[in-house]
Chain A
């Protein structure tokens, strides 16, 4: 079953206006050995919108994200950001593109050898864009923006709770003021209240920066809070694409089974090879 585009009003207006998608993916394929993970993905993300990709565990959501980020090289297909094919960029050009991208990893991926404030301002410090004194002030500012006291900046990441680590990771992702943001399972491992808090922070940050966002999750409540649009990935294909608000009654039996968490339906649990 292929995607049935049901664009939101904003998507339609942007498409009619001839706007170039911020991210355009065409025919993306990736396999690991015999296992086909992505089998010809086509996806557009328009500027200033948020797309949530949902799908079961092992459906290839993280691989899709890593392909867009350039952390994994796909076997076939194209990925264009602002109309430029990022798969064929030179190293320096690719780094320039990456500098415009913020990423929130599933487990935070904070650098445990550095204190929190250096984690937050890492991108700015590593690229020698600011000195350490200004970096500390900048880190304090971003910690406040994600609801943390600047005194947290002196702690080590290991001293923080899961929710605080996610906030610090979010602060690090937005510190370079990126115009594209990726979120990998932003609420995994958090209690429902903290999950909602993180989602609200994400929406707030994305809106404030005017960024384009792509999130992957299997938390449906989180998907509905974060996304303008949603797409479902199953067996290497995008099987549905529509407004995030329609997730619970999409009309697609696979999506409905997934969002309602039902054991009975067209999606059967497979034993992994």
Chain B
């Protein structure tokens, strides 16, 4: 009986902790967003974050997109050839990339690169009293550190995904025309005929949400890190893991919202 009660108590503690963290995260997110609307605004911090998230993530996102498009074309061909449906490859590639793979893979890549760096930077600032120093210099850390990063994430991810969409389709085109022997003009026409505005826009909307989640988790974990280098390391890991899981979870929710009949 005692063992059962201990087991239930452990579950209760876990659920309680999860609820507390969820509540703290929600308050943190609302606070960060509210500072986007109230002056002073730190444009220089926003631009710095935009370059850090957007420009410096471009190589890894571009490589991921190109190879994803290439693999998708190859895999589709080997599968569809069994049903003599090779002509659908262009549409499969463009729909998969714009609706799903572009935003999700770009989000996961940026979560690993930017979310970790953000948590480490803010976490180090926390454990070395730099955040307290901001407060004593009459600068609100939420306004100076968090709000510009949130906005940069929301703006940068759709731009990255737009580029990833183009490069992903290009990857499919390269394999389709140079390896599988499709006519280049026909491949492009099939691509453009099948893609609709909603496919691209839904992907970009997902990207904006993912950008917000990545920067939110990076800032939240860093801001609340404790206990020196070990605490910063734990915050970094937690930021990447939590952002990755939330990206996949929100991907389903958003897909349901955009495309469920």
Contacts and interface: CB of A to CB of B under 8 A. Distances in A.
Contacts of A111: 125, 130, 133
B133 A103 contact: yes
A105 B138 contact: no
Contact of A127 (B121, B128, B132, B138): B138
A207 B241 CA distance: 52
B144 A126 contact: yes
Contact of A107 (B129, B136, B138): B129
A269 interface: no
B133 A109 contact: yes
Interface residues of A, number: 25
Contacts of B136: 69, 71, 98, 101-103
B132 A71 contact: yes
Contacts of A107: 128-129
Given A105-B129, A107-B129, A127 B40 contact: yes
A101 B135 CA distance: 11
Interface string A137-173: 0000000000000000000000000000000000010
Contacts, number: 54
Interface string A65-77: 0100111000000
Interface string A176-207: 10000000000000000000000000000000
B132 A105 contact: yes
Given A107-B129, A113-B121, A123 B135 contact: no
A95 interface: yes
A128 interface: yes
Interface of A: 66, 69-71, 95, 98-99, 101-103, 105-107, 109-113, 122-123, 126-128, 172, 176
Interface of B: 40, 42, 121, 124-125, 128-130, 132-133, 135-140, 144
11 contacts: A70-B135, A71-B136, A98-B138, A103-B136, A105-B132, A109-B132, A109-B133, A112-B124, A126-B40, A127-B138, A127-B139
